[in-house]
Amino acid sequence: MTADLLGDAERRMLKAIEALKQDLAAIRTGRASLALIERITVDYYGAPTPINQVASVSVPEARLLVIQPWDKKMLVDIEKAIQKSDLGINPNNDGQVIRLNVPPMNEERRRDLVKTLHKKLDEHKVAVRNVRRDIQDKLRDREKKKEVSEDELKRSTEKLQKLTDRYIDEMDKVGKTKEQEILEV
């Protein structure tokens, strides 16, 4: 009777982990990564379009991103979009391609990024806990309507807590991995 609610909780918590991974991928680590520009959009004939849908993006070196637009007229628009983003990297446009040199980060910048990482991690943990609270409320409602017994409510709540703990631990692992990446010199 409560398996549907627990399945829903697991799906929603899994989505929260995926969202966390996407958020953390956009945090700069000192190495070039396609994820750095994944969320940057450029105005392409009136529609906001991700850069990787109007250009080929490659990482030829550890600290270099090369963006080669399929339409040369897009060079200036892509350059402006990168400058407007909060990436903190100045694009070099040579008329053919845009090069993004990812500078090595100083210790202070690394610490700031770690703080940002922890803030994002906490936001996503709150999302998982909100899922838990929502499912707990639904379980209590079913118990009040006599659709589930008190014992079943207790068992389901314990399963829900174990599920929550598992996903919070998974988020911590993802966060620790990213933190090591940021602090790596």
Same domain, 97 and 118: no
Question: CA–CA separation, 14 vs 11, rounded Å?
Answer: 5
Question: DSSP string spanning 4-28?
Answer: HHHHHHHHHHHHHHHHHHHHHHTS-
Domain end call among 101, 116, 140: 101
pLDDT at 28 over 70: no
Task: Give the range of the structural domain holding residue 58, as residue numbers without chain letter.
Answer: 34-101
Q: What single-letter DSSP state applies at residue 170?
A: H
pLDDT at 159: 93
The rounded mean pLDDT for the chain is: 87
Whether 130 and 62 map to the same domain: the answer is no
Are 88 and 120 in a shared domain?
no
Assess whether 113 and 177 both reside in one domain.
yes
Q: Which CA distances in Å does 64 have to 30, 67, 70, 102, 120?
A: 10, 10, 19, 6, 26
Which of 101, 134, 150 terminates a domain? The answer is: 101
Same domain, 19 and 38: no
Q: Using the predicted structure, report yes or no on whether residue 43 has a pLDDT greater than 90.
A: no
Same domain as 113, residue 164: yes
pLDDT of residue 135 exceeding 80, the answer is yes
Looking at the structure, tell me whether residues 176 and 119 fall in a common domain.
yes
* Same domain membership, residue 119 and residue 94: no
Number of structural domains in the chain: 2
pLDDT at 12 (0 to 100)? 94
Instruction: Record the tokens describing residue 170, joined without a space.
Output: 């998974």
On the question of pLDDT at 104 being above 70, the answer is: yes
Domain limit, last residue, from 64, 84, 101: 101
- The CATH number linked to 115 is 1.10.132.20
Give percent of the chain above pLDDT 90: 32
Q: Answer yes or no: do 45 and 64 share one domain.
A: yes
Rounded mean pLDDT, 20-30: 78
Query: Do 145 and 167 sit in the same domain of this protein?
Result: yes
Q: Give the Cα separation of 117 and 123 in Å (integer).
A: 10
Burial class (CB in 10 A: 0-12, 13-18, 19+), 95: exposed
pLDDT bucket at 185, cuts 50 / 70 / 90: low
Q: Report the candidate in 124, 138, 133, 129 with the shortest Cα–Cα distance to residue 174.
A: 124
Per the CB < 8 A criterion, the answer to whether 109 and 12 are in contact is no
Distinct helix (H) and strand (E) counts, the chain: 4, 6
What's the rounded mean pLDDT across residues 88-92? 81
Mean pLDDT value of segment 82-103: 83
Q: Do 95 and 155 belong to one domain?
A: no
